[in-house]
């Protein structure tokens, strides 16, 4: 009798747990569906595809990112990093990084960099990218990039599910003949043909 009484409350609790699991799964499915939808939406905004390289103390890491320019004078560019990423942590520590616009020849390596979490100690070996010292910051540049920008962190702002890092560009290198890669529609693209139209300069 005592055993039956003790067991009785366990059944509703177990049922509730199963319900909670089902609710959790439904919420996860809904989140995945929403992310798929938002992924389609935001992949309609073409962005330069780049490799962010950062050195903080003895640690070096590289991640695939998209980037955008913000200011001409001084030159400021923006990158958006997800909190929890190792590169996010290292940039926060060292307050400097380089942005290297991916060249077509480097695309496969860039996509690999975007799939390996930085706590993998073999990541840099797997990427087999050549690095060289930058002139004005402690993070390396990626050899063969279409362009490299050496950045000091100017500001960090929490923006939704990413943090916005504004990088003051203190040095740069644009490679003659470089073929920059653009991210669009969830895929990497080369830059297309120039279109007909009047020459309109910006900034005015
Ligand atoms: C093409 C491409 C673009 C990416 N852009 C970004 C980005 O802008 N911001 C971001 O936080 N992660 C971005 N990622 C994901 C990171 O590169 C990926 O999570 C990487 O493994 C992070 O490495 P880490 O953990 O060493 O920082 C992108 C991935 C790819 C493939």
Tell me what the mean pLDDT of segment 4-23 comes to: 65
Which residue has its alpha carbon closest to ligand 1 atom 4?
65
Dist CA 24 CA 84 (whole Å): 23
Dist CA 78 CA 164 (whole Å): 7
**197 φ/ψ sector (left φ>0, alpha ψ -120 to 50, else beta):** left
Nearest in space to 99 (alpha carbons), one of 52, 54, 67: 52
User: Per-residue confidence at 118, pLDDT binned at 50, 70, 90?
Assistant: confident
Which residue has its alpha carbon closest to ligand 1 atom 30?
114
C-beta separation of 109 from 181 below 8 A: no
If one counts every other C-beta atom within 10 angstroms of the C-beta of residue 64, the result is 21
Q: Tens digits of per-residue pLDDT, 76-104?
A: 999 999 999 999 999 999 999 999 999 99
In a domain, 30, yes or no: no
In a domain, 5, yes or no: no
Strands 162-174 and 147-159 turn out to be antiparallel
Q: Which residues span the domain enclosing 167?
A: 47-178
Which residue has its alpha carbon closest to ligand 1 atom 26?
118
Tell me the CATH number at 76.
2.30.110.10
Tell me what the mean pLDDT of segment 124-137 comes to: 97
**174 φ/ψ sector (left φ>0, alpha ψ -120 to 50, else beta):** beta
Dist CA 99 CA 142 (whole Å): 9
Q: Which residues are paired to 156 by β-bridges?
A: 165
The answer, yes or no, to whether any atom of ligand 1 lies below 6 A from the CB of 109, is: no
In a domain, 157, yes or no: yes
Nearest in space to 83 (alpha carbons), one of 190, 22, 164: 164
Count how many domains the chain has.
1
| Residue 91 structure tokens | 């940039």
In a domain, 32, yes or no: no
Dist CA 157 CA 163 (whole Å): 6
In a domain, 199, yes or no: no
Q: Which residues are paired to 159 by β-bridges?
A: 162
User: Per-residue confidence at 20, pLDDT binned at 50, 70, 90?
Assistant: confident
User: Per-residue confidence at 204, pLDDT binned at 50, 70, 90?
Assistant: confident
Kindly tell me if the per-residue pLDDT of 170 is higher than 50: yes
In a domain, 135, yes or no: yes
The answer, yes or no, to whether any atom of ligand 1 lies below 6 A from the CB of 151, is: no
With H, G, I as helix, E, B as strand and everything else as coil, classify residue 142. strand
In a domain, 116, yes or no: yes
Dist CA 83 CA 97 (whole Å): 16
Distance in Å, CA 63 to ligand 1 centroid: 5
H runs (alpha helix) in 43-133? 86-94, 107-113, 123-127
Least confident segment among 28-32, 60-64, 85-89: 28-32
If one counts every other C-beta atom within 10 angstroms of the C-beta of residue 97, the result is 31
| Residue 53 structure tokens | 């390289």
In a domain, 94, yes or no: yes
Q: Chain-wide mean pLDDT for the chain? A: 92
Which residue has its alpha carbon closest to ligand 1 atom 8?
65
The answer, yes or no, to whether any atom of ligand 1 lies below 6 A from the CB of 111, is: yes
The answer, yes or no, to whether any atom of ligand 1 lies below 6 A from the CB of 80, is: yes
């Amino acid at each position: 009798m005592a055993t039956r009484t003790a067991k009785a409350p366990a059944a509703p609790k177990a049922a509730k747990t199963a319900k909670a699991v089902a609710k959790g799964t439904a919420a996860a499915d809904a989140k995945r569906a929403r992310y798929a939808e938002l992924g389609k939406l935001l992949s309609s905004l073409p962005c330069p595809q780049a490799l962010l390289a950062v050195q903080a103390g003895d640690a070096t890491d590289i991640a695939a990112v998209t980037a955008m320019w913000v200011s001409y004078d001084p030159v400021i560019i923006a990158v958006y990093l997800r909190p929890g990423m190792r590169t996010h942590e290292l940039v926060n520590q060292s307050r400097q990084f380089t942005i290297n616009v991916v060249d077509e020849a480097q695309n496969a390596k860039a996509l690999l960099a975007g799939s390996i979490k930085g706590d993998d100690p073999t990541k840099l070996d797997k990427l087999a990218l050549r690095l060289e010292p930058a002139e004005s910051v402690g993070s390396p540049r990626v050899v063969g990039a279409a362009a490299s920008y050496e950045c000091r962190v100017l500001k960090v702002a929490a923006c939704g599910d990413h943090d916005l890092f504004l990088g003051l560009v203190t040095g740069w290198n644009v490679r003659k003949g470089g073929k920059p890669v653009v991210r669009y529609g969830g895929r990497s693209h080369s830059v297309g043909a120039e279109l007909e139209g009047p020459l309109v300069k910006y900034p005015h």
